[in-house]
Structure 1
Amino acid sequence: METVPAAGRDRLSHLPDCLLHIVLSSLRSRQAVQTCLLSRRWRHLWRLVPCLDVDQRDFLLSVDRDREPDFPGRGASDVYKKARKERLDTEMKRRRSFEDFADSVLPLNGTWPLDAYRLHVSERDLREASSRWIRRGLARRPVELSVAYGYVTHHEYPWHYSFDFISAGGGALHLTSRLRKLHLSGLTLSRKFAEELRSECPVLEDLKLVDCEHDHPIASLTLKRLHIEGRYHSDSYSYSYSYRSFGSLDPIAVPALVSLNLHMVCLPDSEDEFQSVAVASITYPCYDASNRFLKSLRKASVLELRSFTTTVRQSSRTSCN
């Protein structure tokens, strides 16, 4: 007769390491590391998790950003200076904690392959350290790579960090041989990146570029899903748009492309047909001369168009908003 476990018994800890690593992979790295406090069984499990998600936002509390003191009135300058100094000291401590944490989860001698590596940095001053973290992450030959340079507050304007695989990986291009999914945000992509994408990423299937500066052609024989978007900026005082161009997009250069998603980008003036594209979505094109490009998507079974200022003939398979 099977014994029923006592109430409150820790059955999760009795699972094999491979299953616990899957559980930890669903957490951000800071949360995964914190599980080492649960018991001796969990002390070192996080070190071999196949998915790393290093995110500076875990070290930035919204309450800290709201503690910026108001401009002082007459006779209150000392109070203002003290409050501002306390806030800056707190921010510096959190930044140092994040740097120490990122170096700990990405050790210099780490060699085991990763299923996914995600890095999100929120401060300009960490560019040099970010290069180190990207290099160490690539050294683990991830299947999925995501690098994002975000913003502490929604109303800050973009800042860009130059990226290509040669500089990021320390010249070791073989590190991209397993890469299937690549998501980049807030980066400036050089011509080297465009060349490496075609020649050094032999199994890449998913490419997502958000608010990236890139004016060179995108070419990949294996790419199936392409998502490019600019940036919408708004606050209580102003509204502005930041459109992105992506150079030329030739059907011959992406012959396996199945899904295309373009948001606030400058569409190429071309009618070359994308016969392999089955699903396409285009939102907020930056100018009205886009009908020629829309003709290139005539084979798509699903075509979603949003926020166009020109009239587009609607068919049974086209959605227009």
Structure 2
Amino acid sequence: MSHRLKTTKASPSSTGDHLSALPDSVLQHALGFLEAQEAVRTCVLARRWRHIWRLIPRLRITDVDAFRSVEKLNEFVDQLTLPRDRGSTIDECEFDLRGLLQLEDAHVDLWIRRVLKCHTGLLQVHLYANLPATQGPLIVRLDNRPLFSPHLWRLELNGVFLEDSLLDFSSCSVLNDLEITNCVIDTDHILSQSLKKLSIMGCELCWRLHPTLISAPSLISLQLNDYIGVTPVLESMPLLETATVNLGHQNEQYCDFCDKGGFGDCECGMCYMYPDNDYTPDVSVHLVGLSSVTCLELIASSKMVTFKRDLQYCPAFSKLKSLLLSDWCLVADLQTLLHFLHYAPVLEKLTLQVCKVYISSK
């Protein structure tokens, strides 16, 4: 007796591509992990894919080698950042254009402000920088207007010229994390009521009528490290928990190292910025903002005069439990070290970072 084998046809889903069964929102989420050019190339896969890339929630413009010229880059990103339909957002955006020369300021500024209108929460801007700006390629100068976004919570800026109102973040009401690296900062103030974490590293703080004022009363974490220029003034930060501050190691040409006592007594022309003058008489300009901190790392040059003056007017560190100091505090009969020990009543841990000096016998 013969038996016929029963055959069944394979379903379309088992032979076709399984991606077709996924909703557009899932495909858009997946495309967001690709570099922007790769995401755009998916438009040739099928008719359905023609416009999916236009609404991806994450933009990554990072493959600068793929662009033959700045003009090609401008054309591509101009189209990519066009205003979207209402309800379509860009949750995260990364511009990493390091290595491209002659970036056009107006285009970069336009892209940043466009993506912020799409409810971007995380924005990373990494451009070509070679400090100081007078050497090598010029860095991008953004428009001197405040950024506006009720959704931006983290901002990273690298290799950008920042000036005046651009660093007033009063219109970014939920911004809590700001990282500024390898930038030129040319402003009287950095303002934010919401900021909780601030990092300024490898930047140049330009000469101004007054030093840059950092006003961030909600700050919990501060990192100020490896900068060039005039030391900023720190306003009160009552919620500050941790701070790493490295002052004065690259500033020998600035007034921070002038020991002539005040404006008119020296040739630097900058002494009026600090104590013993009309701008900040009998006020701590650096340490007062750190007086509420719990954990502090404070590294400075032993030549930094304005920092020593600060100790005369600095209030008590009533919450300080952990303190790291470099060997600048060991000069002048240990007066600086003794000052900290006297005005830090709850101090539990003290670390002294002492540099070794090797003297040749020759």
Using the size of structure 1 for normalisation, the TM-score is 0.64
Inter-partner Cα distance in structure 2 for 1:13 and 1:284: 58
Q: Does 1:115 align with 2:88?
A: no
Q: Cα distance, 1:256 vs. partner?
A: 0.9
Q: Does 1:187 align with 2:160?
A: yes
Match of 1:105 among 80, 87, 95: 80
Q: Does 1:218 align with 2:190?
A: yes
* Coordinate RMSD, CA, aligned: 4.2
The 5 Å alignment of 1:31-70 reads 31-55=38-62, 57-59=64-66
Judge conservation of contact 1:147–1:183 (CA < 8 Å) in 2.
Answer: yes
* Amino-acid identity (%): 27
Q: Cα distance, 1:193 vs. partner?
A: 1.9
Query: 1:142 — aligned with what?
Result: 120
Q: What secondary structure does 2:61 align onto?
A: strand
Inter-partner Cα distance in structure 2 for 1:220 and 1:271: 13
The 5 Å alignment of 1:223-302 reads 223-230=195-202, 243-244=204-205, 247-249=211-213, 253-265=215-227, 268=231, 274-283=237-246, 285=248, 286-287=250-251, 293=286, 296-297=289-290, 299-302=292-295
Query: Residues 113 and 318 from structure 1, CA distance in 2 versus in 1: closer, same or farther, beyond 3 angstroms?
Result: farther
Inter-partner Cα distance in structure 1 for 2:217 and 2:30: 37
Query: Residues 230 and 94 from structure 1, CA distance in 2 versus in 1: closer, same or farther, beyond 3 angstroms?
Result: same
Judge conservation of contact 2:216–2:235 (CA < 8 Å) in 1.
Answer: no
**Larger CA deviation: 217-226 vs 43-52:** 43-52
Query: Residues 271 and 202 from structure 1, CA distance in 2 versus in 1: closer, same or farther, beyond 3 angstroms?
Result: closer
Query: 2:262 — aligned with what?
Result: none
Query: 2:6 — aligned with what?
Result: none
What is the identity, as a one-letter code, of the residue corresponding to 2:112?
A: I
Higher helix share: 1
Structure 2 residues not aligned, in runs of 5+:
1-9, 258-283, 303-325, 330-336, 338-346, 355-362
* Count of aligned positions: 263
What is the identity, as a one-letter code, of the residue corresponding to 1:126?
A: E
Q: Which has the larger radius of gyration?
A: 2
What is the identity, as a one-letter code, of the residue corresponding to 2:205?
A: R
**Larger CA deviation: 265-274 vs 209-218:** 265-274
**Larger CA deviation: 268-277 vs 203-212:** 268-277
Structure with greater contact order relative to length (CA < 8 Å, sep ≥ 6)? 1
Structure 1 residues not aligned, in runs of 5+:
61-92, 168-172, 232-242
Q: What secondary structure does 1:218 align onto?
A: strand
**Larger CA deviation: 19-28 vs 307-316:** 307-316
* 1:170-228 residue CA offsets vs partner (Å, 9 max, x unmatched): xxx7x42322222222222222224x423x22222121222222232112111111111
**Larger CA deviation: 291-300 vs 260-269:** 291-300
Inter-partner Cα distance in structure 2 for 1:267 and 1:259: 21
Using the size of structure 2 for normalisation, the TM-score is 0.58
What is the identity, as a one-letter code, of the residue corresponding to 1:102?
A: V
